Structure 1
Amino acid sequence: MFARLKKKIAEEAAIAPRPGGATRIPRSISKESVASVGADSGDDFASDGSSSREDLSSQLFRRNEQIRKLEAKLSEYAEQVRNLQKIKEKLEIALEKHQDSSMRKFQEQNETYQANRAKMAEGMALALAKKDQEWAEKLAQLEKDKRLLAAQLQEMKNQSLNLFQKRDEIDELEGFQQQELAKVKHMLLKKEESLAKMELEMETRTRELSHAQEELLASSQVCSDLSCELEMLQRQYSALEEQRDHLLAAETGAENKITTLEQREQELQMFIQQLSVDLQKAEEGEKLIKHLQEKVLSLEKRLEGNLSGEEHVQELLKEQSTLAEESSKLQQHVLVLEQQYAEQGNRLEAEIAALEKARESDKAAASHQIVIQEAEYTKDKQNVAFEEWSQRETVNVEIAKALEETRKQREDFQQQVADLTTLIKEKEQFLNEKTEALLQKEEEIDQLKKGHDIVLLQLHQLQSDMEACRCKKAKREESTGKELNVLRLQIEEEEEEETLEARSEPNVSILATALNTTLNGEVDCVDMVQLQKENRDLEQQIVEKNKTIKQLQQRMLELKKTLQKELKIRPENDIFEVREKPNPEVPTASTTVTNNSDLNDSREINFEYLKHVVLKFMSCRESEAFHLIKAVSVLLNFSQEEENMLKETLEYKMSWFGSKPSPRGSIRPSISNPRVPWS
C-alpha cells in the first residue's frame, strides 16, 4: 500500500513544474501533441513541396490555434499539478503520521513479538530438547528392536532353510534324535543333580570345601568321558573319510571308462582320416596319368612337326613306338590302377559307409550308453553324494551337536569350577576376614581387659585414697572440729564423688560381665563400640575424679600451710590436743566458746580462710561460686534460708532477667553484731 502511494507521489512530483518556470508536459499528452505536431510537420513538409505560399498562412493559423490549445491544456495541467502537489503534501503529512504511529505500533508489536518469541524459543528449545531426547531414546530403542528383529528374521530364515533341508532326513534322524533326547535327558538329570548339589552347597556353607573337591573330581571324570566320546566321534569321522575315498575311487573308474570311449572315438576318426589320405593319393595318380597323356600328345605334335631327316624320323618313330608302348603300358597300368583305385575306392567307400554306419551306430550306441552311463553316473553320483552328504550332514550335525554339548558341558563345568573357585576364594577371604576380625576383637578384648584392670587398679587406688581420706578426715575430726566445719563442703564433694564412684561400680560390673560374655562368644561391633564409649566415659570420669582429688589434696596442703603459718609452725600433736574438746559436728547458733585463746586462734584461722574463700569467690567460675557459698555459710554460721538467699542473689546477678530476691529469715547477731571484732 505504501509502495503504491510512494510510486504515485513520485510520478506526480515528476509531472510537477520545475523551479525555472517551465512546466513539464505529461507523457501521454506529450505523446499526443508530438504525434499531432509530427503529423502537422509532415503535412507541412509535404505541403512545402507541392503547395504555395497561401497554404502557409492557413498552416500558421492552424499551428497557432494548436499552440493556444496546448497552452490552455498546459495551464489546466499546471492547475492539476498544483492540486496534486497539495494532495501530495497532505498525503505526505498523513503518511508521516501514519508511519510514526505504525512504527510505534510496529516497535511495540516487535518488542512483544521478540519477548513472545524468546519465551516461545525457550519453551520450544526445552520442548525440542525433550522431544529430541525422547526421539533419540525411541530411535535407539527402535534401532535395538530393529537389530533384534533383523537377527530374529535371519535366525528364522536360517531355521526355515534348515527345516526345509532337514525335512527329507527326519525319518532317518528320528531314532538318532530319540537317542540324543535320551542322552540329553540323562545329561539334564545329571545337571539337575549337580544343581541340587550346588543348592545344597549354597545352603550348607560349612561343607563347601569338601563338596567343591567332589564336584571337581566329578567334572574331571565327565571331562574324561567326553574326551572318550570325542575320540569315538573322531574314529567315526575317519571311517566316513575312508568311505568318501572309496566313492572317489569309483568315480575315477567311471571317468577312466569315459576316457577309453573317447580314445576309441579318436581311433575311428584316425581311420577315417587315413581313408581320406588314400583317396587323395588316388586323385594324385589320376592327375599324373593326365599329365603323361598330355606329354604324349605334345610328343606326337613334335613328331608331326619335325619330319626332315629319315634317321630322325626313325628315331622319332622308335621313340614314338616306345612312347606308344609306354603310353599303352601306362594306360594299361593306369587302367589297372584306375580299376584298382576304383575297386579300392568302392571298397573303401563301402568300408567308409559301413564304418560310417558302424561309427554312427557306435556313436549312437556310445552316446546312448554315455547318456545312460552319465545318467547312471550322475544318478549314482547324486545318490552317493546325497547319501554321503546326508551322512556327512547327519554326522556333522551329530558331531556339531556333540561338540556343542561337550563345549557347553565343558563351559558349564569350567563355569562351575570357576564359580566354585571363586566361592572357595570368597570363603577363604571371608574366613580370613573373620579370623582377622576375631584377632582384632581378641586384641580389643585384651585391651579392654587391660583397661578393665587399669580401671580396677584405679578404682582400688581411689578406694585406698578414699580410705586414706576418710582416715585423714577422722583424724582431722578428732583433731580439729573447727576445720571439719570449714571442710564440710569438701567432704560433701567427696561424698558426691563417692556416689559417682558407686555409680561407676555397676558400670564396671557391667563392663566385667560384658567382657566375660565376649570371652565366651563373639562380640558384636555395636557392643564393642558401646563398650569402648563407656570405657572412654569411665576413663574421663576417672580423670576428672583424679583432678578433683588432686585439687582437694592441694587445698588440704594449702590449709595445712595456712594453719602452720597461723599457728607459727606448731607441732600437730598440740593442735590435736587443743582441738579434742570441741564437738566434731557442725556447731549451732547456741554453741559458746569458753576458751578465749582457742577462740581467738580459731577466729584468726577462720579469718585467713575466709579471706582465701573471698579471693577465690572473686576469681572463680559460676559453678565454683555455689560451692564457695557453702564454705562461707559454714565459716559465718549461715542458716539455710540465708544460704538460699545468697544462692538466689548469685543467680540473679548471673541471669539477664529475673527479680531481685527479698531478704528472708532472721539476721543473725553473729553477722550483724559480732561479739568479738575482727582483728
Structure 2
Amino acid sequence: MFAKLKKKIAEEAATAPRSGVRIPRTISKESITSVGADSGDDFASDGSSSRDDLPAQLLRRNDQIRRLEAKLSDYAEQLRIMQKTKDKLEIALERHQDLSIKKFQDQNETHQASRAKMAEGMTLALEKKDQEWIEKMADVEKEKTALSAQLEEMMEQSLALFQKRDDLDELEGFQQQELAKVKHMLLRKEEQLSQQERELQKKDAEVQSARRELSKARGKLQLLEQQHEESCRLNTELEIEREDLLLLREEADKKTGELEGRCQELHSVIQQVSEDFQKVSIGAQVFIDHLSRSKVTSLDRRLQGNLSQDEHLQELLQEKSSLEQSLEETRAELLAVRTNHADTVSSLEAQVNQCSYSNPGPRIYYHTSELSSRQTVSTEIAKALEESRRQKEELQTQVSGYTHLLPLDQSNTNLDISHSQLVRRGAEWEGLTDPAAGGGGAAASPAAAGGVGQRLAADRPEEGAAQPDPAAGRLPGQTRDDGVLCVVQVSYLEVEVDTLTEQLHSPEVCEEDQNGSVTVDDLDHIQKVNRELEQQLSDKNKTIKQLQQRLAELKRTLQKELVRRPEKQERFCPEPPPASALSPPTSNTTVTNTSDLNDSREINFEYLKHVVLKFMSSREAEAFQLIRAVSVLLNFTREEEDMLKQTLEYKMSWFGSKPSPKGIIRPSVSGASSPWS
C-alpha cells in the first residue's frame, strides 16, 4: 500500500516540473520563430515599402522582444518555485515512509504475539472437545444397543399381533358368511310371503274395481239417455231461436244504416265545435301577445324616463286596471264558450243516449269519437293555460326588478288569483272531458253535463273574492296526466268498439259456439299445465326426501366411524407394555371390535353398495369426489387413499406416468391401519 502511494507521489513530482520547464521553452521557440517570420515578412515587404517606415517597424520589433524577455523571466521564476516544492515533497515523503515502516514493524510484532497466544488456547480447547466427544460416543453406543434390543422385542410383538389379527379376520369372515346365508334364507321367505300377500290384495282390488266399473256403466247409461232427450229438446229450441235471430239481424242492419247517417251529422257538429275552440285559442294567444307587448312597452317607457315614485305608482295602478279589464273580458269569453260547449255536449249526449237504446256498438263508437274531440279541446286549453302561466312568470321576473322602488304585492296577488282561477276553470273543464267521471263515461247522461255547467255558472260570481289555491301550481301537471289517461282509455274503447262491430256483423250463434270452444280449450290447457306442474313438484319432493335420507345415513355412518376410530387408535396404539401383560387385553379388544364391526357392517351394507355402484359407474371428476366416502366405508389407509387419488388423476390428465403401489398393500377391512404396517 505504501509502496504504491510512494510511486504515485514520485510520478506526480516527476511530471510536474517537466511540464513547467517545457511550456516556457516551447513558447519561447514559437515566439522566436514567429518573430523571425514576422521580421522576414516585414523585411520582404520593406522592399516594396518606402524607407520612412523602417523606424516604426524597428520600434515594434523592440517592443516584442521586451515582452518576450519578460515572459522568459516569469517562466524562470515559476520553474524555481516548482523545484522548491518538489524538494519539500520529497523530504515529507521520506519522513512519512519512515514512520509507516516503524508502525508496520510494531503491528507485526503484536500480531505474532497474539497469534501465538491464540494457538495455545485453541490446542487446549480442542483437547477438551475431543474428550467430550469420546464420552458422548460411548453413551450413544450404549443407547444404540438398548434400542436395538427394544426393536427386536417390538418386532416380535408386532408379528404376534399380526398373526392374531389374521386369525380374527378369518373367524369374522366365516361368521359373516354364515350370517349372510341365514339372512338370505330369511329374506327369501319374507319375500315369498309378501308376494303372496300382494297377489291377494291385487285380486281383491280387481274385484272391487270391477264392481265400481259396473256401477259407473249403469250410471253412464242413464246419463246418456237423459242427454239424448235434452239434445232433442234443445234442437227444437235452437231452430226457433235461429229464426228469431235472423229477423233481429235484418232489423239491426236497418238500424246500423240509420245510425251511420246520424254519425256523419255528429262528426260535422264536432268539427264545428273544434273550429270554435281553435278560434278561441287563437284569440287568447293574440290577447296574451298584446298584453306582453303592452307590458314591455310600459316597462321600456319606465326605464327610459326618470319618473318619481308617485308616477311609478300611477302607472302600476293603470296597468292593474287594464289587466283587470282584460281579465273580465276573457272571463266573459270563456263563459260564452263554456255555455256553447255545454249545449253541444248536452245535445250530443242526448243523441248518444237515444242511439244507445237502439244498438250498443255504434253507441260506444260515438262515445269514443266524442271523447277524442273532448281530448283535443282539453289539450288546447291546457296549452293556453301553460302559455298564460309562462307569460305570468315572465311578467313577475320583469316586475321583480323594480321592487326596490315600490312593493307590488297587491298586483302580484291579483295576478296569482286570476291565474289560479283560470287554472281551476281549466281543471273543471278537464273534468268534463274525463271519460271515467260519472260511471265510466260511456253511460254519462246529459243531466251530469248540465250539473257541471250549472256549478261553473254558480262559481263565476265568487271568482273575484276567491283566494289563491296553494295547489294551483300542480293543476297543469294534473291536466296533462288526465289527458294521458284519456288517450289510453280512448284507445281501449276503440278496440272494444272494433270487437263489438265485428260481433254485430257476424252471427251470434256461431260466436257463442266459438267462445264456448275457446274457453273449453283454455280450461283443458290450464288443467294439463297444472297436472304437469304438480307431477314435477311431487318428483322434486321425492328426490328431496331421498337425498335427506341419504344425508341422514351418511351422518349416522360418519358419527359411528368417528366414534369407533378413536377407540381403535387407543386400542392399537398404546405405549409399549411389558410382554407378560400384553396377551390379556388383546382378547378383550378383539371381542368388542368384532361386535362393533358386525353392527357397522349391517348398517352400512346398503349404503356401501350404493356408493360402490355410483363410484364404478361415474366419470373421473365425479369419482374424485367419492374417494373420501369410499375410503371411510372400506377403512382405507392414507396410502391407499392417496394411491386411488393418483390413479384417478392419471386417468383425468393427458400426460404423466401411471402411479405404482409402494410396497405390499395389506387389506385393512377389520379396522384402521396399525402404526407398524
- Which bracket does the TM-score occupy, shorter chain normalised? under 0.3
* TM-score, normalised with respect to structure 1: 0.23
